[in-house]
């Protein structure tokens, strides 16, 4: 794909038809997708295909408490054809998903909120960084690298309709995430109310108080964990936990006084979804905060254990 300024009318028409086909296919494939890795990698692959670029990165933008942006990287091609690119790829995999702060690869795009075109940056032949907006909010960034004829404003203009579709899909994904979170909280709340009513009416099994049911694990400090229903009680009151907190607690209780390694926790809590070390740390910290009287120990570089 050379600059539009040197393309014939027939070539321009062909490129525009290709763009429209990719947009239609993208909307069909990803509008209801819930896995961000599938969404972002699919969008990135389409951008690479439309521009004949060698490799790229794509991620969603979040803001910390100081309103400083960082990127959660979901889309990243395997960059084996270029040694420098391969080193960058290995750093991304080694350091986790939230390693792109302002000073790193996406820095200029985040700082300016505009597209960035560069040549010979970090060992790359050429580079194009594209901000992804929806309703005026910066939601993501796509960066593509090493196009044979380089990048110019004609390429940016050509991609603009697709980038707008990316923004709409990210916004839809976020809305779906919020909706699922609300639904999960409603389920937890209903379970809490159901257990509360049973306690109020005295319908809880006698074994709960007698401690003879093997499915019940006494954890001290008034805590009782019911393994069959994955319910935590304290002084006969249900402790409200999020679904992932429940999964982590259930795993730790099932391996009480044993170290559970990070890989086992990630697999049990998140399944096949790849998560960063910071996500696991955050989950453990939240559980510790809610259950401050329980001893959840961290074994550096290995995992975590619940000590009773």
- What residue segments make up the domains of the chain, in order of their start? 4-178, 227-307
The pLDDT of residue 301 is above 90: no
Which pLDDT score is estimated for 296? 92
Rounded CA-CA distance 225/228 in Å is 9
Determine the Cα–Cα distance for residues 211 and 207; give it in Å rounded to an integer: 5
Q: What is the pLDDT of residue 7?
A: 66
154-43-164-109 Cα dihedral, nearest 10 degrees: -70
Candidates 108, 50, 99, 107; CA nearest to 76 is 99
> For 251-286, what is each residue's pLDDT tens digit?
999 999 999 999 899 988 988 788 788 889 899 999
pLDDT at 191 over 90: no
Which one has a higher pLDDT value, 272 or 194?
272
- Domain 227-307 bears CATH identifier 1.10.10.10: yes
Q: What is the pLDDT of residue 300?
A: 86
Q: Is the pLDDT of residue 206 over 80?
A: no
SS (H, E, C) 53-113: EEEEEEEEEEECCCCCEEEEEEEECCCCCCHHHHHHHHHHHHHCCCCECCCCCCHHHHHHC
Each residue of 107-166: pLDDT tens digit?
788 888 999 998 876 667 888 999 999 999 999 999 998 898 899 999 999 999 999 999
Q: What is the DSSP letter of 269?
A: H
Confidence of residue 226 (pLDDT cuts 50, 70, 90): confident
What pLDDT, on a 0 to 100 scale, did the predictor assign at position 78?
57
pTM to 2 decimal places:
0.58
pLDDT of residue 163: 96
How far is residue 280's CA from residue 276's CA, in Å, rounded to a whole number? 7
Listed range (10-19, 23-32, 241-250) with the worst mean pLDDT: 10-19
Tell me the pLDDT band of 82, cut-offs 50, 70 and 90. low
| Percent of the chain at pLDDT exceeding 70 | 78
Of the candidate ranges 43-57, 90-104, 219-233, the one whose mean pLDDT is the lowest: 90-104
Sheet holding 260-261, edge to edge: 260-261, 303-307, 295-299
Of 67 and 260, more confident: 260
- pLDDT given at position 197: 62
- 166 within 8 A of 43, measured Cβ to Cβ: yes
Angle value at C-alpha 56, between 126 and 89, nearest 5 degrees: 105
CA distances from 67 to 112, 135, 271, 285 (A): 15, 19, 31, 22
Domain 4-178: homologous superfamily in CATH: GAF domain (3.30.450.40)
Least confident interval from 4-8, 54-58, 109-113, 279-283 = 4-8
Residues 199, 237: contact at Cβ < 8 Å?
yes
pLDDT at 216: 84
């Amino acid at each position: 794909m050379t600059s539009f300024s040197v393309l014939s009318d027939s070539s321009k028409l062909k490129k525009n038809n290709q763009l429209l086909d990719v947009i239609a296919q993208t909307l069909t494939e990803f509008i209801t997708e819930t896995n961000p890795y599938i969404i972002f990698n699919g969008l990135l692959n389409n951008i690479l295909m439309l521009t004949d670029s060698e490799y790229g990165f794509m991620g969603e933008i979040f803001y910390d408490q100081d309103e400083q942006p960082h990127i959660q990287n979901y889309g990243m091609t395997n960059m084996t054809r270029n040694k420098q690119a391969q080193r960058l790829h290995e750093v991304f995999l080694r350091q986790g998903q939230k390693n792109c702060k302002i000073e790193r690869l996406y820095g200029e795009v985040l700082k300016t909120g505009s597209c960035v075109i560069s040549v010979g940056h970090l060992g790359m032949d050429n580079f194009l960084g594209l901000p992804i907006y929806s309703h005026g909010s910066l939601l993501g960034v796509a960066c593509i690298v090493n196009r044979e004829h380089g990048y110019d404003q004609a390429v940016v203009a050509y991609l603009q309709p697709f980038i707008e579709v990316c923004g709409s899909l990210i916004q839809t994904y976020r809305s779906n995430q919020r909706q699922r979170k609300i639904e999960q909280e409603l389920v937890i709340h209903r379970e809490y109310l159901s257990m509360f009513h049973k306690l109020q009416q005295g319908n809880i099994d006698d074994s709960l108080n007698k401690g003879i049911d093997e499915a019940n694990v006494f954890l001290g400090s008034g805590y009782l964990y019911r393994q069959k229903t994955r319910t935590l009680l304290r002084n006969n009151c249900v402790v409200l936990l999020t679904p992932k907190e429940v999964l982590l607690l259930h795993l730790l209780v099932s391996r009480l006084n044993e170290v559970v390694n990070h890989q086992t926790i990630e697999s049990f809590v998140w399944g096949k979804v790849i998560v960063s070390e910071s996500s696991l740390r955050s989950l453990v910290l939240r559980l510790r905060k809610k259950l401050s009287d329980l001893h959840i120990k961290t074994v550096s570089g290995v995992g975590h254990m619940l000590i009773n």
